[in-house]
Structure 1
């Protein structure tokens, strides 16, 4: 979702790498991005490239320490390895992306958990090929509470690359139409229809150039929106939008591109978190494949869609000395029915106005509310 200038500045901050890792071949086996403003550019792909050349482009992009963009909600990439990732004590792999924190968050100040956070859901596959493997989600911190399941989204190929635009920095307000469905926590069926806007910063087509079908459909799960706009609305050219995307809590875990690369703890993933399609824990001995999928259906004005990016996947058990002192993240327990009810009513701990000033009670207009579980919500008070 980052504009080009912000993105390339962030790329300079990718100081954590797999240099300490023993030699291992990481292969890109599938690259199936959803539409997005960095598609066809991260990595650079043209219509003449074969499927093998596209996968190689992804591998070369990551070998150079650069990013592969997965596009909007549902887009994914699948990795294979020359030896399986074993499920041993503690976290088993590290995934690096492009998350970074704001220097001066309007609510948290310097001690923020917000900036550019674009969480991707991680899956482990066991089998002989991605197509025939059994896939298990690595249940992150939101899996049993605010994550929504049976998510399905269809994007419709754009009929033009420019069109009517009234929104700030827009080249086409209603550029790519999508329809989506999912299940709420209580099983209620939900749906939505909307559009991806095309902004003026990225003139190339956002539709994958090799995809000639009129529709693209993705299935998986949906994470809650995590963005707050502290600036003007999308039509206010005098007051620029100021978008901040937050981690779900200071100790949230289990999502790619959701913590800065220098966070040695929350960029790691444990195969012990694996669950089946019904949310039941599964004891895996290893993973043959790792899949990462953009988990948020969210468009942040002129800064674009929320899109997970990946720069590296590291088998921690091949890092010298790691297994002697592994990283251990204790997962949140599966809630009972009573726990689930209580989880939906987190206690408010602080409230701010749109300028970031703390207020003691609700005020008319936009209120920023912080809850005891670390989450932050924007509320309109009338």
Structure 2
């Protein structure tokens, strides 16, 4: 189902991209992690040179079609005709293929969930990606639920099929990975696991041009954002039903985390740039933009969460934009001075007892969902 919906959305992606002022996108690096759309989105074979691979990605973006970054850590580095200046308000727009479900089993048409696969965005300043100084654009979760010092290593599979018992799987323990990160409270954590290979995508999930026995990526990790409203998928009468959500209706700073029709939350402000310690950095421009899959998550038969990128726009080159720029007010950085607990879970959704979406507290029982995944019932008098 996910594959059908993904490709069905390509037409709307092309319309959204063509509506933007024409700007030439240069793909400087394409370094995806393993994933079910790798080698197919875009179509790349082992015989292509690096230059040819990058050209294929550029053609994909020129047509407004998505380039898949694979599982957690996979990334792409882009540039435009000229550096992106840091002006007033948002400075760039990143297109993806996120969409909202039309039949969310809980929130109905009021949902902010469907296919949302957040990617972390970085700005690079310098002559080349290798020598540039890189800064993360701190999104809404940066100081709260986002994990830092994330590292993940994938090991090349030794076979393309194998033992399987999971729904729609043809190889349960297909690609082994080992990950480590730092929790928001400073606790170091690590995990090992496998990417499953499903029956809907039979090609190798390992990038065909990558002949190393393992690939390692560094960055940050975002919170899981998926809920399975169905069963365990063990039979046709007990299907899984996965929905991936935005972290909040006003969450910002992540690629492929809002539909392209959302003119606000598909944009990014270079003022959000921070160094590796989370300290704000004043940038006057960016030479490169890097987008990296931010979630380490597998959603049953629908596969791994993988960010897709379908375009990049320098907003300051759009006629009239600087006269009326998009302004997103960022979250304040927690400080012991103002008594804010940076690790405290944040409210992300509020419902009435009958399931209606609330934009503010309402008398009676309110059901509140928090950024750590917990849910509480509170009585508002």
Say whether the fold is shared (TM-score over 0.5): yes
Q: Provide Cα deviations, 1:12-34, integer angstroms capped at 9, x if missing partner.
A: 3223125442x532200000000
Asked whether the equivalents of residues 90 and 329 of structure 1 are also in contact (C-alpha less than 8 Å), the reply is: yes
- Aligned pairs for 1:242-253 (under 5 A) are 242-253=241-252
Alpha-carbon separation, structure 2, partners of 1:18 and 1:322: 17
How many residue pairs were aligned? 363
1:292 aligns with 2:291: yes
Asked whether the equivalents of residues 149 and 222 of structure 1 are also in contact (C-alpha less than 8 Å), the reply is: yes
Alpha-carbon separation, structure 2, partners of 1:68 and 1:146: 27
Per-residue deviation at 1:73? 0.2
Alpha-carbon separation, structure 2, partners of 1:144 and 1:196: 29
- CA 1:223/1:370 → structure 2, altered by over 3 Å: closer, same or farther? farther
Alpha-carbon separation, structure 2, partners of 1:104 and 1:370: 21
Asked whether the equivalents of residues 185 and 343 of structure 2 are also in contact (C-alpha less than 8 Å), the reply is: no
Q: TM-score, normalised by structure 2?
A: 0.91
RMSD over equivalenced CA pairs, Å: 2.1
Q: Which residue of 2 aligns with 1:209?
A: 208
Alpha-carbon separation, structure 2, partners of 1:306 and 1:25: 28
Q: Which residue of 1 aligns with 2:119?
A: 120
Per-residue deviation at 1:238? 2.9
Per-residue deviation at 1:349? 4.4
Alpha-carbon separation, structure 1, partners of 2:332 and 2:156: 41
Unmatched tracts of structure 1, length 5 or more: 360-368
Q: Which residue of 1 aligns with 2:74?
A: 75
Q: Which residue of 1 aligns with 2:329?
A: 330
Q: Provide Cα deviations, 1:205-230, integer angstroms capped at 9, x if missing partner.
A: 00000000110000000000000000
Q: Which residue of 1 aligns with 2:277?
A: 278
Alpha-carbon separation, structure 2, partners of 1:240 and 1:311: 31
Per-residue deviation at 1:177? 0.6
Asked whether the equivalents of residues 95 and 313 of structure 1 are also in contact (C-alpha less than 8 Å), the reply is: yes
Unmatched tracts of structure 2, length 5 or more: 357-365, 376-381
Q: Which residue of 2 aligns with 1:182?
A: 181
Asked whether the equivalents of residues 3 and 201 of structure 1 are also in contact (C-alpha less than 8 Å), the reply is: no
Alpha-carbon separation, structure 1, partners of 2:266 and 2:367: 24
- Aligned pairs for 1:35-50 (under 5 A) are 35-50=34-49
Alpha-carbon separation, structure 2, partners of 1:19 and 1:10: 16
Asked whether the equivalents of residues 107 and 355 of structure 2 are also in contact (C-alpha less than 8 Å), the reply is: no
Alpha-carbon separation, structure 2, partners of 1:346 and 1:95: 26
Alpha-carbon separation, structure 2, partners of 1:160 and 1:101: 36
Q: Which residue of 2 aligns with 1:17?
A: 17
Q: TM-score, normalised by structure 1?
A: 0.91
Alpha-carbon separation, structure 1, partners of 2:149 and 2:343: 23
